[in-house]
Amino acid sequence: MSDALPTTAADSAAVGFFKVALGVEYKGSRYRGFQRQRAGVPSIQETLERALSKVAGGAPVTLSCAGRTDALVHASAQVVHFDTTVERSTHSWVMGANMNLPADISVTWAKLMPAHFDARFCAMARRYRYVIYNDQIRPAHMAEEVTWNHRPLDVELMREAAKALVGTHDFSAFRARQCQAKSPVKTVHHLQLLEHGRFIVLDIRANAFLHHMVRNIAGVLMAIGAGEKPVEWAREVLETRVRRTGGVTAHPFGLYLVQVDYPEEFELPKRYLGPHFLSGLPDVAADA
């Protein structure tokens, strides 16, 4: 028998090996991020693994994810995968997991994958939306799902400033001190500011992100939108490559992982761009 990995989901099944990919959405407010933490500290990963293990008849399940979202951060389109020798239908993985998950985590789809699929390393790009509720009065609803900014924000100034951050750059000035990425050089494919009622939505897609990169970009753009800094400040901060020049890191509540892009060969299921309360917002071109 060849030692080569199975190249299709059917080949895997034939040798009793299953690689399962899942789509997952969650409200991160009660969790210390996606990644499993020390005992007693709630995480999305541990909660999901516990639920999936029950579906697998008690067999342990270990997840890998497309993006390790931070504490209090949400996702409407996280992608994870796990390897198992337990055979279940994709319907059973979805419904069984959801029966054992709390109300703030949902599995949206499941698919059997070829052995070479990896939720993290096969991803070509990731996309986030940062949702700002711009009003003088703090919101009583969705207070943990949007970032409230009481200062009137000039969206046109924010759009103009955002142009400096599109493309391939060293984003050290937008990188958290504890970031473990090997390189600060990332490529931002698009960075759009969208308006939807009282919401201002920062929509950003890049090949990869640094720790706190989106929240630091949001903090800079909100300072410019509030008139506290000039439009040129975004480029100036970028060019310093020094984090302390970039001001305050924006709050995590408004941040959502909304899309992960993979090669077409994997044919992963597609859903609307989230979060759900923005599902009617027009999409921006993926390669704008």
List active site positions: 70
Dihedral pair phi/psi, residue 187, rounded to 5°: -115, 115
Number of Cβ within a 10 Å radius of residue 69: 23
Distance, in Å, from the CA atom of 112 to the CA atom of 1, rounded to the nearest integer, reads 23
Q: 184, 172 in Cβ contact below 8 A?
A: yes
User: Is 26 a known ligand-binding residue?
Assistant: no
DSSP output for 62-87: --EES----TT-EEEEEEEEEEES--
Q: 232, 162 in Cβ contact below 8 A?
A: no
Q: Which residues contact residue 87 at a Cβ distance below 8 angstroms, ignoring those fewer than 6 apart?
A: 13, 16, 18
Phi-psi region of 211 (alpha: psi -120 to 50; beta: other; left: phi over 0): beta
Q: What angle do CA 159, 163, 168 make, to 5 degrees?
A: 145
Distance, in Å, from the CA atom of 123 to the CA atom of 37, rounded to the nearest integer, reads 24
Distance, in Å, from the CA atom of 232 to the CA atom of 237, rounded to the nearest integer, reads 9
Please say whether the dihedral angle defined by the alpha carbons of residues 254, 258, 260 and 261, taken in this order, is positive or negative: negative
Distance, in Å, from the CA atom of 174 to the CA atom of 211, rounded to the nearest integer, reads 8
User: Peptide bond preceding 252: is omega within 30 degrees of 0, i.e. cis?
Assistant: no
- Binding-site residue positions for substrate: 128
- Binding-site residue positions: 128
